[in-house]
Every structure is written in C-alpha cells, then in structure tokens.
Structure 1
C-alpha cells in the first residue's frame, strides 16, 4: 500500500485517479507496463511524477524512464505527455507566468546514447558550416533538487514549464544564492548540502527532496529546516554558477566515465547525473527545442541499482538527543559494487506503519556512494517496536513519529554520543572516535570535562597502550592550543536549535561568555531568530552553562567572530571577492588562509567557476587546473602574489 505521506501528497495535488492505491502499488511492484491499458499507463505515470515531485518517490527514475515512459513512447511516439514538462508539485500562492520557459532535459542511461547525441550535434554544426571539431561542450552536475527560476524580484517554481508559483518567501527566510550570491540569474535548483543533510537532517526527513519541498511550503518552517537555511546549507543554485568541465566531443568520447566521475564530485549536493550541453550559440539556435526539452542538451543518469532484500532484524540505536532510531539489518546483498548489510528505516513511525520487522521484504536502492535507502516495502511483517532504551533500559515515549529516551543524564549512549559530538565538531583533534569514548565511559568517564582531567597513568590503567595513551593526551593539548572559531566551540556543546550557523550568527552580536545572560528578547532582536527558537536557546543555555564554563576555563585558542558592526567597517583588497585556494601552501595551512580570507570579507569557494575572482596557487598544482581557470577568465596568482595583495 502507499504510505500515509504518499496518500497525503496525492490528496493535496488533487490527483483524481481511477487507479486504486492497491493497484498502483501492484503496478510498481511488478515493474511491468506491457499489460496496462493506455489509460492505466498514463495515470500511473502521472501518479509517479506527483510523488517524485513531493519527495516520496514510488519507483526509481530508471524504472520510470526505461519501463513505463518507454512503453508510452513505443505505443504513442507523439503522445502529448511525452512533449510536456512534468509539472512540479503545486504550492499555495498565485500562479504566474515564468519569464522564460523552463523545459525538462532529455535523458540517457548509456554512453552509446551520449555518443549518438554528440553525432547529432556535429551534424547540426556541419549544416550551418561550422567545423564540428571546434565545438566545446560543457558538463555540470545534475542537481537532484527542486527546480526554480529567479528573475531578481520573484523566485518561481518550475510548475508546468510555462507557469509556476511565487515562492520568494524562501529568500525572506534567509535562503541564499549559490555561486556568486547574486539574484536574477535565471533557472536553478534549491538544494541542501549532502554532508549537512546526513549529519543534521536525516533524523527528520527521509530524503533531501522531502526537505527541499518542506522549505518551500507556506506554513511556518520546522526549526531544523529553518536552521539549515540560516546556516547556508540550503541554497538556490543557478545552473549558470555550477562548477563545470569543458572540452571537445573527442575528449567526451575518449574519457567519458572519468569526466562523469569528476563532474559528479564537484559539489556537495545530491547529484543524480551529469548534464552535457554544446556551448556554441549558433548551434544551439539551429537545433532548437521540442516542447519538452532542448535538443542541444542531454542528461546522463546513472542507472540506480535496486535489489529485493529480506530484513533480518530491526535494531534500535539511541542518539545524542535521546531519539531512538531504527536500523534495518539485512541479508547481505551486493549493490552498486558494495556489500550492503544495513539500511536506515528513518523512524519508528515508518517501521510501525509499513510493517518493517524480521521477514519483511523490501526494495533497496543505492547509487554510487549514496547511503542505501529502503525504496518501498514489498511484503510487510509484524514490526519490531522497542518499549525500552537499548542503552539504559529506560521506558521510551512517543513524540509524533519518533521514540525518545528521557534519561538524559545517565543513558550511556547519550553520554557517549555527546562526548563524541564535542570532539567531532571541534574538528582539530584526532583519536576520540566512538570506540575510544565507549572505552573511556566504561571506565567511569562521563563528561567532556572529565576527559580533559585524565592523565597518562589513568589512561594506561583503562587498557590503553603507552603510545596510544600519550597520543590521546597530545591530542587533547592540541585541541586547546590550535586555533578554532568561537562559534565552532559553542556548536560543540550541541545546544538545541543552535547549529553552527546560528552559533556564528549569535556571536556576531555578543561575546561568547556573555550569551548566558541573554533574554528571549535579546535573541529575537537578532535577524534569523524566531521567538520559538529564542525560548529554546535561553532554556538550553541555562542547562549547559555549568559544563560550558568548566570546559571554557581550561583555556582554548578561540578566534573571536567579528561583530556585525566591525565587519561593516572592515575594508580589504579581497572584500567581496570569490577566492579558491589550491595546492600546498608554504606560509601557513590552507585552512588558516581560508579563515583569514573570510575574516577580511572574501567568499571562499572549493571549486573554480566563471564567477571566481582569484585562484590562489601553492605548490604541486597541475597545469590543466590553471589553464582551465584562465580559460574562464579567472585571475591566477601564486601565494606570494596573494600575500602582497593583502599587504598592498
């Protein structure tokens, strides 16, 4: 059966279909379109599209394209559905005409299809007397986000490609523009950082598309969604700003898989393929577009592998916040080159509703290095729902779809995960992974402060070897002497609703040691803090104040966040510039140079685009990287020239 969220999406979309939920699920399970009538096939395609746009896909992209859409194309090559843009999910707001049409992208799943597309491009060039060998192709990551269009005044959903909905409210909520940060650069996608999603949002949203759809809705955002926006983890990324690869058709054919691998890794967002396009304007104009897609552009999408897998067990795991999360233990299955034994079941509401327990048969998907995902339940079985915390044995309580352990002060898992979170967030200390912390906690160490009080003989008595014990002490010393930002230090305490973005925002207005005196009004006066967040922050700061001051007084080398008024007074030669650092630096660590550049008002990026102002090179930088930057009009300077620029 379709789950409750999928049924809700179909209801909100006013999807009046003749297919029952049971029959829809049966079609998806069989993955066979040949026995469907034309009407059933079309209805099923529409249902799949609505659920995909709503963040709750029924089948994989590959099945949609290669089985069901291909069947419609075989029966009716000129069916109107094949020539229309699949509509995005509708949102509350006035429907408005887009400044220009937003088409879909033609898709390919094999290199042979890309090669045929290249040949068509070359023939089109010859038709207008352009040498095919002179053509340059651009390849960019195919973002798996939420398509939108920004004309500088309004941000539109893609809608049906001609009319969309005004969702400019997301900019009012703090959403920024990726790349050079400027509004009005046309089509793009709303995306969220993959690493940020896995760390901070995976407990709340089943997938990134689900999160992206949530931040567009008119209703008030949930705190963790708002924090993602304010931390600049979620952005609207214009296609024109994406990092890219350029080269001739011959190179695409010769090094296709290497190019795809390189381009997919250029951004830390969900990517489901690579988009290739010819850059020659005359060729683009000559080739034109269908009512569905531009002929001069194509998307290569990796075939996402799926497998039917049996669930052996569902294991509860208690997190730092006390939330108990279900992990499905699976029959070992090889998928996308890896042996998969576990997959997240997201939350116990899902386990209960869909019947995930020993013996459940699920469809598992994995593409590339993406975390394995339960695509759907094929055969449900009685679910396993714990009533006590697997770590401390305390009784669990339900909060919406989630189970919580409220024994915050004595639960081993919460204590260990809290300590691990502290050192992981500091990011300047090694050796304190969960295994080490479990060993420390078993010996009676139950707080971060207690870790810092350890000496060599104590560590040795706990079973650590002489060398390991000394290394741990050296790392603790390093964590106090190596410079880190004060907002990172604050974020290490895991204060509710205070991710790193909110920590930095707060410290732009108040000194680190003064924040415990703040009132709700003080915090709500800071842009980006809602009253609910302020109430929670004030309450949580009181709870951690004692532990915070104990650890703070150990003496850490903290870089103070420049206050807003100080930043306004700061002027430097690189203020407002976009800089990329590459290679090994001689005058200091690259991370330190990045921090200094940010302090001086520059925007530091990880990859070069046409909007990059400076590529600062150290040693051991390949000539191809430098030449690619020069071709994009980027000024390339070495480390000495950069330092001279700062001292100008």
Structure 2
C-alpha cells in the first residue's frame, strides 16, 4: 500500500494521458493491495509516463512488482507484450530507422540457464556448433533509451515510432567514449559521481536530468552545465564495456562476471544484458513484438524477512478458485510495506500448516511479487468451510479449493457471462466491457441477457444503433449453428472443457448428462473418479440455468455417438489424426471439425497412437521425421483429401 501525493508537474503529465486515468482514482489504486488487471494497467501507464517524464512516482522495484502482478493474472495481457512508451508527452512521431525493443528479464541464474537452453536448441536447429556460441555481457544502463542514425537522434517511442530529439546534440550532448555519431541504439545517461557531487542536492534523481536534456523547453542551467562538463552523454550500446566469452565460461563464472559488469561504468545500472553474438543465430531467433529472443537482462535483488501471520483470508476469484491471502503483521521489504501476500494455494496452507500465529519467511526475489519461501513456525491451518462469496460447498481440484457454483456465485457471475459468449464464439458484441455494464445493471445470468429488449439496452446507456446491434446479435447467436459440446462447455463447469464435453456427448445426449452418476461417467474412457464427482456436482449447480438457456432454442449441431462413428464407412472412422501447418482447403479448425464428423478422433499432438499426421504448408522435416519414427503415416493435405475421396 502506497501513500501518493502528486505534484503539480506530475499532474500536468497525467492530464495528457488516457481520459479514463485520473489522479484521484490513481491515489486510491496505489493504496490497494489487491488489484484487477485493468487497475494495474492504469497504474503502470501512469507510472511509466511519469518515469519517462523525469518525475517518477514509484521506484523501479514497485513498477516491476506491478508488472509481475499483472503477469500472474494474465501473462498474455497486451500491456505485457508491447514496448513501454519512451515518449515525450506531446510531439510528432517519426518512424525509427530500426526497431528498438524492450529486453526480456531474468531474476536468477536458473532463468538464465533456461534462456540459454532456448539459444542452444535454436543453434541445433540450424546446425550451428555449440563451440561457436559466445555470449556478450554488458551493464544494463538505467537511462533514457534513444537511437542515433548520425543525422537524427530519436526516442525509443513504442519501438517502431519515436520522436526527434536531435536538439540534445545541438545543446552539446557528447557520445560516450569519444565515439562518433551514428552508432545506433543507446542510452542518455549522467555520471553517478558527477550527480552525487554536483546535482544530488538540486534534483531528486538522475531521471529528472535525463528528461531535461531532451525537453523542448529551455534547459535548466544546472543541466546545461552537466552537458558542458561532459557528465551527460549518449552511450551507444556498441561502445559499452563488455565481457565476451563462450557461453560455458559465462555460466561457470556467472556471479563474478555479473559483479564485474555491475561495477564497470560510472553510471546508474539496473542489471546486466546477455546476448548471443552469432549473427546467423540472432537472425534465426528473431523477436517477439516486445523482446529480441537472443537477448536477456539479468536483474538482481533479494530481500527476506520473518513475518507473523495474522489470518488467512479466502477470496473467490472470477474463475471460482479460492485464493488464500495471508494477512501479515505489516513489514517493510524492498522499500514497500507488505501487509498481505497471496499463498500459492490451499494445499500449501494445509500441508505447511499456515494459520494465525504462524511465522513465515517472506521473500522478494528479483523485484517481483513477495512470496512465502518457507514456514519458520507452524500453526493450525486455517481452511474455509464454504465459498466466501456465495456460501457453497467447496471442492478440492488438485491443490486448489474451487467453488462449483458458476451461475449464482456473485464473484463468478460476471466471468460466467464473459466465458459463455467467448466460448460460444458466434457473437462479437458481448465482450467484457458490455458484460461489465450489464452486470452493473443487475444482469447476472445468461438467460437474463437474452431477455433484454432494444429499449432496455438504450436505458442502460447504449446508443440506439448499438442497442439494435446487440439485440440482433443475441438473436443471431441462437440461429447460427454451434456444436453441442461447445454450447455445454460455455457454461464453465469445472472439469468440462471442450474435449471432455465432446467425450461425454459421444455417449449421451446433452440433456441426459444432468442425470448421470459419477459411476456412469467413470465408465467412459478418460474420466477418473474425482473428475466424475466434480462434473456431477458442477452440472447440478448449473442445471437450472442451463435449461433456461437451452430452451431458448439454440441451433445445436449434435455430436455423433461413438457407436455411429465406429459404424461409419469413412476411411478415417476410428483413426486418430493430427493436423499441422497451414491448410489450403480451409482453416485447420474446419478441417478438424470435418474429420470428427467422419468418425475420426482429432488430437493436437503426435503420439504412438496417432494414425495420420496431415501436413499443410511450412512444416519442418524434424516434425515429419519424428512422426514417421513413431510409425505414424504422414499425408500431405492433397493425399489426405484423396484418401477421403477414395482415390
């Protein structure tokens, strides 16, 4: 929990951000210990803008903590997969001569070794010998990222487009190491020794100065003097101190090399960069939208404390999983006061005996979310008897306690609606934002959504045209044919994903499933007793809502029964087929759907039980040879079509 008071300069920057970000809301969000993904994104956007503007509101540690919290909620969130903007508040952008990406982060030697395994695997795929793989290790400068093409100096921007800040050179900014212009990417930095001696009593941190160097307005006279004295420089990565050696030497002497690079420059750094030097390998590995795959940043930080647990508070997530949150005696750790921490799962609470009075070792390793590393003093484990949101009986699912009440649990209803429309897949209008608004107006069940008329949508604040479109899409979603297994899966019953729904529906009709016993489900191949019991209880919980929706008259495509499949005269009836590569006769999903209709069992990966591997375009020889080694028949797309046609 952070107490934040914005200065007038910071408020000026915040006012130029998205309209849905305001300072009053941010102050409240900074105080919260439990945050939703959209709240985290607001904090990250604001913190990043203030940091880039030279007026940071939180530490790098706290920013990384928020990033890690967002990743734990949704590791695929778009904010995590783009370059944080390194941009001025107002200026025209221009295309960068070369992409400037962020750097993937690692916080332990084990993380580095995992990354190195990816490097070695890629090298093996293109026949580069291990002895040719060297790594370059450099300090990770904590400055203002920029790109110099010899004529123009650009900010990094979003990695694709930046802003012209050539004025920094016009003010006297020099290239470090007496280097020449035009050496590409680097950082604008100021010497630590100079800042500490000359400027630390004037500026709160060096970030203020980095932003001032490139600002459009007149440069502060103290900053101009630092530029004139050569303390402020543009440091191209090409010139930075480095250690280059075979990867095995780097790993064997990892700690000493990290320490050497950490102290190699008189500038603020926040880690070290490791990258492969092999040009062909770098080109082959390429990049994601955010990071180069051949490069990684190692960041160091670890603090721990022994903390007493006050209580374990159960919280129901939107997926029905009950998360144990340990309320702690407030403790300072890595500059932040920690009073709550999420325990991994309730099986850990039970087996490690965590409850009121327990003493745990709390660790922040690598500037990420605090976690319980161990239990110093055990106590009676504190386990909930029922869902804290709806009071339902809880189920154990592996290490987790689950609330099976998908349709009436307040913590889950909104997610249930989102899951239904997303899984159904034939309605584009009812995304999270629309569902959130409808939920706020008391619509908690699927059938209630389908009862909404055009004038009601208007009364909920939707425009006339949007309201008509939403109404029309609801009608269309009932008329457009959808597989019965997909319809069932859309209700979000625990242990009933699409695959298990299809297995059940190969033996029973969709309405018969609600009368099955766990023993009857266990008789079907692929269902264990615990899963069967969870499915029976889950179906019972959604039964009333299911039939209210089912009776609205959806156009369901019925899954062929197992007996019908076995009796099919199709050449692939009973066969296990896998599709890979880009198909020309339709999408892979369409091909899989058609194969199922012909009695085939479609799998996602090749095993010894696979009958056919159907290959489209751009399939590697390694995958094909591996399938053949398992005795699988490999068919091209055309050979597969010929097989179906009896050619």
Compute the TM-score of the two structures, normalised by the length of structure 1: 0.45
